[in-house]
A and B are shown apart, each in its own frame.
Chain A
């Protein structure tokens, strides 16, 4: 064998993987068979997949998730920066916010916002004067406040971890140049914290797509609520739950791809090895012999 030719060797055979794949496929097949024989009218599940009410619910789910996540990000950054403040009042307020909204269930918070009129029958709004709380606190607003403010408390911890990940030398260098604390945060620390903040934020959003289903409890017309409104009339309960399951899977799959892209993009420069390919890609490359994962 000459030393300047490529090595030609028979790769290690992973017979166990083939056996495992057959077992998994067998189990999956029998599960599918069981459901196909069960008391479910699959035709109904498909029929409602693109029903106007369901599609409208899907858009509402997307809308409330995007808006609540955006609100959460803004509140999270503000709360995280406040927590780092030297002012005990400022950091105390942020602590209290995080403590309360992380410490109580989000479903309960949604119900509290929705029932605010029981506590304050009228509220005063600048330029509009005193109005009945019921007319302001629509299902949409209750869902937005409930989900967004709750999310802010979680985002605050993510942003705080990001801020803490930035080397102290960066702050010192900015201070030594005469940058004020606010500018140091905005120009030097936060941009560098983004690398740590953005990947888990994508994760939070995927979570939000599903958590937003709790807004059905405040009559907000998102996916799950749309399904309940249909099945309460036609009684095809499980069929419609499967319909919206499919929609949730579509939404989360789309954003998971986006999330994987974000993670790879923000890992650049910080690690010698890029994160590996996606699960599907790995399964395919593993099953092909002679390829390293």
Chain B
């Protein structure tokens, strides 16, 4: 079943993805495909399952049903002789190296400076030398406009700056795919722009991105596709301008009338 990674293999392929927490069914069969270089925005009311789905992509949540492939490879499971085997934590960790993730609450390591945060994974996971990793880290901080904050601890940075460091940290592993879990929801309104600017530049550079967001302006402008989720299912999807301008489904219309 597994295909060799190539241009024809989608970055993410989800089929019938289901997830429940106890008796609560959060994802009720999600079918989605993210192509290479695509920027997909997931929108929907809170509790719709969009963050849970995002977390399934790098196996922070284990699927209960269906399957999910990243670059043709199952995430968190191995397929041998037609049977599924759960992966060891170490194998999952290896898979996650190619998938960067940015969290709503930044989750920078508070005991490390900005540059140490960015260096951590290349040094610890890939065994890069400290000097090479530091050099690359400074370059990444420059890219998000924070080269002058390299030696500063997260507590001394604004929310927007912390989130930009978090993006640089995820980029340090040179991921093929970036996941954003409501990256601007915890920010003061005047700080949202600087983070979206970094994300826009990333998208223009060709990065494949899945973005859970409430920023409809960003979705319209940067997104290649927009997926509206509600109640654990995909209600509607399509090019952002079309969906936002002319939603077909009643639930989409109701949601958009509240947020636009």
Q: Which residues on A are within 8 Å of B, measured CB to CB?
A: 167, 169-170, 172-181, 183, 187-188, 191-192, 269
B125: interface (CB < 8 Å): yes
Complex Cα distance A177/B94, Å?
9
Q: Are B89 and A180 in contact (CB under 8 A)?
A: yes
Partner of B125, one of A167, A177, A269: A177
Q: How large is the interface on B (under 10, 10 to 19, 20 to 34, 35 or more residues)?
A: 20 to 34
Q: Are A177 and B170 in contact (CB under 8 A)?
A: yes
Q: Are B96 and A175 in contact (CB under 8 A)?
A: yes
Q: Are B111 and A178 in contact (CB under 8 A)?
A: no
Q: Which of A169, A177, A179, A269 has the most CB of B within 10 A?
A: A177
Q: Which residues on B are within 8 Å of A, measured CB to CB?
A: 58, 60, 89-90, 93-94, 96-97, 99-101, 103, 105, 107-111, 120-121, 124-125, 155, 166, 169-170, 173
Given A172-B60, A187-B124, is A178 in contact with B103 using a C-beta cutoff of 8 Å? no
Partner of B111, one of A176, A183, A191: A191
Q: Are A178 and B121 in contact (CB under 8 A)?
A: yes
Q: Are A177 and B107 in contact (CB under 8 A)?
A: no
Complex Cα distance A178/B169, Å?
12
Q: Are A173 and B58 in contact (CB under 8 A)?
A: no
Q: Tell me the total A-B contact number using a CB cutoff of 8 A.
A: 64
Residues of B within 8 A of A192 (CB): 109-111
Q: Are B109 and A188 in contact (CB under 8 A)?
A: yes
Residues of A within 8 A of B166 (CB): 173
Given A180-B125, A181-B93, 15 more pairs with CB closer than 8 A:
A172-B107, A173-B101, A177-B97, A177-B120, A177-B169, A177-B173, A178-B97, A179-B93, A179-B121, A179-B125, A187-B120, A187-B124, A188-B109, A192-B110, A269-B155
Contact residues of A: prevailing secondary structure? helix
Question: How close is B179's CB to chain A, nearest CB, in angstroms?
Answer: 8
Residues of B within 8 A of A172 (CB): 60, 103, 107
Question: How close is A172's CB to chain B, nearest CB, in angstroms?
Answer: 6
Closest to B126 in A: A178
Question: How close is B112's CB to chain A, nearest CB, in angstroms?
Answer: 9
Residues of A within 8 A of B93 (CB): 175, 178-181
